[in-house]
Structure 1
Amino acid sequence: MQFPTFDFRQWYQTELTTIEQIEEAFFNKKVDGELFFRGMPNYDFVCISSFYRYFISCRVLNWSEVDVGFNSKVLLPEIDLDEYKRLSFQILDVFYDNLRKLGSQELSFETVAYLAQHYGLPTDLIDFSYDPKIALYFACCEMPEKDCSVYMFDIYSRVKEMMELYASGAIGYCKKPNGSLMEPSERADHARELCTKLSRNGLSTVTPVIELDKIKYGQRILNQKGAFIYHRDVVPMDQLMYTASTDPYYPGRRVYKIPNKLKPTILRRLESKFGINEVFVYPNADQNLDIIDTAVKMTKSKLEL
């Protein structure tokens, strides 16, 4: 099966070839809440969602070159985005319906999507972690024969950018329901809502805000220190992360390439120093885990996933 590639991320690439460099980049990095990390076990993988992979693997699609900015072109599948959107939301709707039938309490759309993502259904959520060590674990825990990568990115950068644009009035002035114009702070709040709210009629790329106190069944999310970007587009997330500026020193954007020979040593040190291993990142301590797993199986059966 062919999947997209994205060579332009090399503009922001740093190769780490020793365990000392790994420790400096990941073990000693202060977690400041601004940067997020994603581990990829195969360096050739790009940042696409599980639903994207599922959708194109089930179809015979034509591929064509698409301009992703700065006169940079990549070969991408020709996807019917209406069909794509319909099926991606159908999976969440059927999953939630099954959860409710099995006795689940009412859940937000974001929480339903988190649970679907973490328990094996294809979604358009893309996982990140605010702990670089967790991302490093996911980069190293599979495909021992492959070089891997860790992405570093401020997943809320688009939210901040849109808030500034709305507040300045650079992209128009918004009206309240009574017809009066919003103040700059109100326009900024409106932009935040647009860019963080997951909705079937909303933006195709948002960064949902995780309300930890409302996640009732999310021990995996807590242990993985998880965060997500929702991205429903033919073009991979790499476009937003790695073609938004030709400046390779743009703050908060980096792809670390790690040779496969370091994977075993990295995993041993993550476990011995930080207790990060498979049992930690995939705990079985969630409340109502049986309900979630059953709802996932019912959904896969109904939709033939």
Structure 2
Amino acid sequence: MQGVRYDCINPEADGTRDGREQWLLNTQVALLLGEKDCQLSRYTAWARVPVTPVAKRAIWRLESDRYALTTPALFELGEQLPDYYKGQDPRRMSYRMLESLRADAWERFAAMDMFFVKASDFLYIIPTIQHLRNVKLTMAYCELPENDMQCIRWVPYQKWRHDPDADGLHGFAPGNKHYINGELASEDKPSFREARATPFPRQRIPRRGFVAVAPDDPSYDKHSKDHGLNGSIVDGESPLLANGGHSSPMSVSSRTATAPMNGVESQSPTFNTNATGVATPDGSGNQLVSPSSEAGPAQARPLVNGHHSPPIGTE
């Protein structure tokens, strides 16, 4: 349901308690009541306010697909009407066909005798309507333009900012209200949330590309080893290096591998700590540097294969 503020329907009620009350379209109320009579002739005691052409155009902008039955959720309903989609599958209709249905629906919508009724009047009789008992009904907050200029510019007026309880919304517009048996059950309001101090637990699992490898997969153990995992690790982290960085799972796996290669067992490098507290892979305690990182003659840069590139300027 779209609950429209009364001060948008009648600007003279602006700033009053009655102006903040929400009103409903007769078409929505008739559908909920199961009435074929959209004039709601049985409820003569209800207050009624005619829908202005400006309000009708604004409502059409918001809900044209609902009235034209061009939204996928209502295709099944439209298919029950004789030849409504002109023998076509609504799920495969062209854009021109959709626009034709909307144009035809707008002509009928504009010619309808529409009016607003108080939401409180409708909610009052809900306990007497058998098919609405114990059913949660949601009423959304809605503001409509008051004149042609507002309708053309389509700038929200935000009258709710002047309501007495606006501070409790923390800058957000009023949310949905949920009713059961005509009584307010809950209301959607913004609330504060506390940020989590630690990351959420995560489960590291082996993957084949972007696809996770299931534990019952024959290649699960192989992929686990390739990724440096021993089965599933919950909230596992890569080992820390001496400089505080994280090594990749592949590097961890390669350092811890002890399987012989070509008959020779590979040995993991031994890390020593020099005087500056930085771990070095050799026993000299000298930090590996680039040619331009220290003063004096350029030093050779160690390469992965153990060979040294010539110092800069010696070629």
Q: Same fold (TM over 0.5)?
A: no
TM-score tier after normalising by the smaller chain length? under 0.3
| More helix per residue | 1
Calculate the TM-score normalised by the size of structure 1: 0.24
Larger radius of gyration: 2
Calculate the TM-score normalised by the size of structure 2: 0.23
